[in-house]
Structure 1
Amino acid sequence: MLFRQLEYLVALSRERHFARAAQACYVSQPALSEAVRKLEDELGVPLVRRGRKFESLTPEGERIVLWAQRILADRDALTDEVDALRTGLSGQLCVGSVPTAATAVSLLTEPFCTEHPLASVRVLSDLRSEDMLRKIQDFEIDAGITYLRAGISEKFQVVPLYRERYVLLTGTAIGRPGARNATWAEAARLPLCLLVGTMQGRRVLDEIFEMAGARAEPEVETDSVASLFAHVRTGRWVGVVPYAWLHVFGVPRGMRVLPLVEPDHTVPMGLVTTVREPGSVMARALTELARRTDVAAVLERLPTDSLTG
């Protein structure tokens, strides 16, 4: 059995198409197909259902893919560990985040790159929470920043980073003049632009609106917090945004920000990695850095009077 055969099988599982899998592995389709057939012969079980084209993996194939992912991840971790012992940490760290946490990622990647100048970083900042957790389990990314929902620590290693709280982003002409805050019930009655309902960040907001006895019915939905800012900038809509985004954008000209109250609600956010040991040397280095970095304190460093624009 060769690592190459396992790589081809994992690519086929991911792409669900022989030609795309071959392209991803930089080999010809016949070469990939033959390597998978040889793996089937060696294991003595069918791994792929074939018709005129790829149909699916067999139940045996789905199980073997899980083992292949683990074996390849351990191989990469071993290689990175040896490289780190020889020359210092190098290679690429891959970090994912849910969109609402995108601004917090740089608070870890900047000191990471400072401490490990031979390493590079790849950030995927528009992942749904469930997709990110799957990518961590499938060893496609090293770590992710997401909502620390109940039960997550049973399957993943978790480092709490900060608590996400929310503000109402409006044009200066919308809302009560001179208001210093807004209630969730009041926000529900305004022309809203919110994240799409399939995203964890939106589900969190819906839960808070429900706590306030209100229901949000947005006129515009988007899968991007940056797009939400852009829609509010037109002056027609208001948005509910994570306070952490103000760390990067501040309060844009022509807008104001009102803390949302009744209820005062926050949601824990944290760094999530696999529980497997020894695991990725990249993930270990990032986890160690996260434990000694006060992300919450940095995100709170905003002038008090900036809240009202």
Structure 2
Amino acid sequence: MKEGATVFLRQLEYLTALAREEHFGRAAAACWVSQPTLSDGIRKLEAEFGVSVVRRGHRFEGFTPEGERLLAWARRLLADRDQLVAEFGRTSHQGLTGRLRLGAVPASLPPLSLLTVPFCELHPGTRLTVLSLTSAEIQRRLIDFELDAGLTYLTGEPMPGFRTMPLYDERYVLLTRYDGEFADRTEVGWAEVAELPLCLLTPDMQHRRILDDLFRRAGVTVSPRMETNSVSTLCSHVQGGRWASVISQAWLGLLGVPPGTRVLPLVEPTATSTVGLVVLDSDPQPLMTSALIHVVESLDLQRGIDDLVPLGAFAPPGPRPEPPAQRR
């Protein structure tokens, strides 16, 4: 690649780093250059196109409208550059290399290994980055070429400009104390659950928005005693005995049913939500994205989740299990 083109791409990297970090010093550090070097590179971009790109003050204040347009092109050009390098830089014996960048809504994280493990086994030269993000953040980062793919809900929110692939249906159960209010029940209604002291995910999570809608369909409004953006925090607090929660069956495959608790299927209404893979709708797809899609097409995640979660988890309770022996 000619020196002038290399310098130009480097300047575009400065611009995207500044958008990501929103701070000149941090952007320079991310690019392994001094702050004056980064600032000079962006000024040269402005001179090249004859427009002001950055709104400057005592600190970074954002981009001008022209800067936003240039930033969108910069992200696309750099993504195409990376794809070109990956396409022609690999050798036939080396196989697929590079980093797969995944964003996943928190509710999809427990069963995610059912997808990533087969991918890594098929492509041992790759590395993974998995980020826990909201559905809106996943879409934004895909558009900005900061992610290769996302795992999110496919129901309820339209996603124009994206290709989607269903992975599994999320089923909902009540996680509650083993000897709690519904100790003699084999299922429970949503309206009944709304009366419990609940711990749920925060309203910015799509899982929570789905639950709120299901409670409304049952004719009630839920007011949780505690909210968290962490699945593990939610389950640990239910295990503590003060709260109950509505969770996805898929979580149990990894987390199991916490000691001292049990799960009950939720009815009236009985409902599911589809979780799936989402990528930018582009042709051709980047190599890393195409490889992931190929793996998804070969898997049956619904069966994998159902196999991980024993049917006995939903059975009526028998004698309460003894707690594990304490170490001396």
TM-score w.r.t. the length of structure 2 is 0.91
Query: Structure 1 counterpart of 2:120, which letter?
Result: C
Bigger radius of gyration:
2
Residue 223 of structure 1 is aligned with which of 205, 222, 229?
A: 229
Which position in structure 1 is the counterpart of 2:248? 242
> Quick one: which amino acid aligns to residue 101 of structure 2?
C
1:74–1:279 CA contact under 8 A, matched in 2 = no
Aligned to 2:124: 117
Q: Does structure 1 retain, via aligned residues, the 8 Å contact 2:96–2:123?
A: yes
Residues 1:69 and 2:75 are matched in the alignment: yes
Q: Residues 83 and 90 of structure 1 are in contact (CA less than 8 Å); yes or no, is this contact kept in structure 2?
A: no
* Letter aligned with residue 94 of structure 1: R
What CA deviation, in whole Å up to 9, does each residue of 1:181-238 have, x standing for no partner?
Answer: 1110111001100001121111110000000001111100000111110000111100
Q: Counterpart amino acid of 2:118?
A: P
Q: Secondary structure at the match of 1:178?
A: coil
Residue 97 of structure 1 corresponds to 104
Match of 1:253 in 2: 259
CA distance in 1, matches of 2:158, 2:133: 17
User: Which residue matches 2:178?
Assistant: 172
Tell me which residue corresponds to 2:115.
108
2:9 alignment partner in structure 1: 3
Q: Which residue pairs with 2:326 in the alignment? A: none
Q: Which residue in 2 is equivalent to 1:45?
A: 51
Among 134, 158, 175, the residue aligned to 1:128: 134
**SS at structure 1 position matched to 2:111:** helix
Q: Is the 8 A contact 2:98 2:127 kept in 1?
A: yes
Q: What percentage of residue pairs aligned between the two structures are identical?
A: 48
Q: CA RMSD in A?
A: 1.3
Q: CA deviation at 1:151?
A: 6.0
AA aligned to 1:121 is L
What secondary structure does 2:109 align onto? helix
Q: Secondary structure in 2 aligned to 1:180?
A: coil
Residue 310 (structure 2) pairs with residue 303 (structure 1)? yes
For residues 91 and 158 of structure 2, the distance between their equivalents in structure 1, rounded to whole angstroms, comes to 32
Q: 1:56 and 1:140 mapped to 2: Cα distance? A: 19
Q: CA deviation at 1:50?
A: 1.4
Q: Is residue 2:80 matched to residue 1:58?
A: no
Separation in structure 1 between the aligned mates of residue 159 and residue 59 of structure 2, nearest angstrom: 40
Query: What is the aligned length?
Result: 308
Aligned counterparts of 1:84 and 1:264: Cα–Cα separation in 2: 49
Aligned-partner Cα distance in 2 for 1:208–1:120: 38
Tell me what 1:23 maps to.
29
Bigger mean CA offset, 67-76 vs 47-56: 47-56
TM-score (norm 1): 0.96
Any unmatched runs of 5+ in structure 1? none
Q: What is the distance in 1 between the residues matched to 2:59 and 2:267?
A: 56
Q: Does 1:206 align with 2:243?
A: no
Question: What stretches of structure 2 of length at least 5 have no aligned partner?
Answer: 318-328
The aligned runs of 1:121-160 (5 Å cut-off) are: 121-124=128-131, 126-150=132-156, 152-160=158-166
Distance in 1 separating the partners of 2:210 and 2:124: 37
Flag as ranges the 4+ runs of structure 1 deviating above 6 A.
Answer: none
